[in-house]
Structure 1
Amino acid sequence: MKKNLRLCLAVAILLTCYPAASQSIAEATAIRQSGDLKTAFDMYEKLAHQGNAEAQFHLGFFYETGQVVPQNYVHAETWYKKSALQGFVKAQSSLAWLYANGLGGVKKDPLQAAIFYEKASAQGDEVADGSLYRLYKLYPELRDAVKNAREAEANASRQQALAQQQQVENEALQKESLACLDTLYNDTRTKSLAGKLLMDTRKTSSLELMANNTKPNAKDKAALSYVVAEWERCIDIHAEPRKKTLRPEIEQLISAYRLDLRNAFADLYGGKYSYGELARSRAKLDLEFNHKLSNTVASLQAKDMADARQAQEAEAQRRYAEAQNQQQRDAEKQRQQEARRQLQIQEAQLQLAQQQAQQQAQLQQRNNFLQNLQLLQMLNPPAQPQAPGQAPQVIIQQTPAPPPPPRQCTSTRFGSTVTTNCF
């Protein structure tokens, strides 16, 4: 209590006393605002390692901007992502920005950028809204990809919730099965088998039990029938969830072991086995079962590792192919943009040529007009200016006289007289 009071007094000007975690964040923020970035960074780092989402965001911002520490976008991505996955909106927007730009070793990933921008936008981040709009405009195919990613995330969440629920149910049934066996081992109806038969299969038979050569009498057989039936019932309580959680190969081993153990009990009940022979047979069955189980588990693990490697290789190839396709799409988009740019240039040049041709035509028309005007002025000179008060002269144009009629002439050719017009 005194420590909290001292903490509040130390930052009383800037802070109000909040709960312990908020005090530390608020104090670090106040120290940062005061200019002591190194102390603030140390406090943020400590809180970030404790899982505080806001501190993780601030730590990522220090790495992104290169304050106090060398600029490192990869470290910034790490801390932004830790914070963003806890739902801190500023971290979601900052992480999306890193993925959208791909700086300093952070791989450019428009899909992840759109996903985290959408998460931030859903929490009311207006800057994320604008960034998401520009990103979708630049990559129209992202909308469907983000939709598919959301559906996959929702399915994964449902599967995780279902797995957790199944695990809880599995643990409850397992406890119930063990409690059933414990009740069976302490049942008064099985007391006649005490010291002769080890009913708890979780334990190992002693040498004394293995050396027992007696066989069950009528009372023992009745108790033995009850034990086997109840043991089967207790084991079956956990059978269904066990089948869902265990691999089929392991479940087959368990089924084979139960069958062998049931046959051994049948041999004891029929008098073929003594109690010691049953104990030795069970010890052998346990040894073989554990050996087969170890080999099967090792084989399954090796197969899982091989499958994981193949899956990783397939995922790497898919990512590589996707990157290649993205590069091709980007190149095609750049080609189309360049083609559109060239077309715009050609259209602009054509429009300029048309404007120049129109201007040239207008200029030629004007020149023709001026030439025609000059020709008219030459053919029709302007009248002489008249003196003031002088009556205007009237020019009467006389009609030209008609030409005289042609004269007729006569000529004699070859003894004939011909009359013709004379010119």
Structure 2
Amino acid sequence: MTTLMTVLGIVVFVVGLLFSIAWHELGHLSTAKLFGIRVPQYMVGFGPTIWSRHRGETEYGVKAVPLGGYIRMIGMFPPGDDGKIKKRSTSPWRGMIEDARSAAYEELKPGDEQRLFYTRKPWKRVIVMFAGPFMNLVLAVVIFLGVLMGFGVNTQTTTVSTVSDCVISQSENRDKCADGDPAAPAKAAGLRPGDRITAFDGKPVEDWGTLQDRIRDTIGPATITVQRDGVTKTLHADLVENQVAKNDGSGRPVEGEYVKAGFLGFSPATGVVKQDFGQSVDRMGDMISSGVQSLVDIPSKVPALWDAAFGDGEREPDSPMGVVGAARVGGEVFNLDIPPEQRVATMLILVAGFNLSLFLFNMLPLLPLDGGHIAGALWESLRRNAARIFRRPDPGPFDVAQLMPVAYVVAGVFICFTLLVLVADLVNPVRIS
């Protein structure tokens, strides 16, 4: 049964992956056709074609390796200085440029002269290139909202899980009481596991974040209203000052940093809680912020990733993970000892996170990524407008093909990084619990 559920989880993730790629390319395709650009191919995957059909002037198909996709537009790059596609030079860098230029024209047909990508105004090219990543962002937002508001998220609640016996500074890193440690205020007040705190000092509380803030702001007497076995009880506690973990802006503890604050002495239970729209938007904002930070942190994580792949280093939970690793996690999700609806919700969050990563990664202003083409179109618009303002000759379209040597270097780095992540995902994968 475990093997079957693992395979099912992997299959479900791969289907979600293929849909995400197809959805991304659909953004490019629909806007390209809207602006009259001819698109000979729309493909999901790379490598050998396993299925394809022609509809109108476009071939739609699926390829064997589900690691990406593409649409092929004619005229992605302008012709050479003489208005023609130059023949290959003996210079390797010039050869790269001319090869890219030739590929953009290899399916040129009579009447296509006005249907080339580079002939469209810069703002139209920005829309075509941005539409793909934007589709991933839309899909991620829709899934996140659906899961957070429809299924809920596992979060800390105002229900008591455990009650501390004594007051211990969190910086001491111990959980056993020593002689002389004073009794915890929660213990002295009679708080019990299973109690649901509904009000603190007479003010209603509905979530753990609000309750935690009020506890930390209080030193001295306080009333605690709880629901216990269906009965409302009011407890009286005398909160003390203690050294507790410092929280960041999202309410998460900052490792190794502590502050002096009010202390009651209990741990909250966790549970699946549906979020309202405002809470869901806040959580999505945190996810996007974390995604951006993770992208920035990738170079600094390469040494640990190498050690995890080829040495005896541990794989960090926030280590970069590729498609193979994500598929493996998808298999583990379907084996978690949680209700089926939460397995579905977790899988959807995994797919949403993948789409968010696609959006952020593709927006990097580097060729061959979509962001590189967007940057090229914006630069062209800037210099053409500047020429118009200063009454200088129109510089013409910006030749993005000139940046192809850089694009090959970027692609090479990306391929090496992908292979490193692949090895790490195979020999030392990220695991969930």
Determine if the TM-score, normalized by the shorter chain, exceeds 0.5. no
**TM norm structure 1:** 0.22
TM-score (norm 2): 0.21
Greater fraction strand: 2
Larger radius of gyration: 1
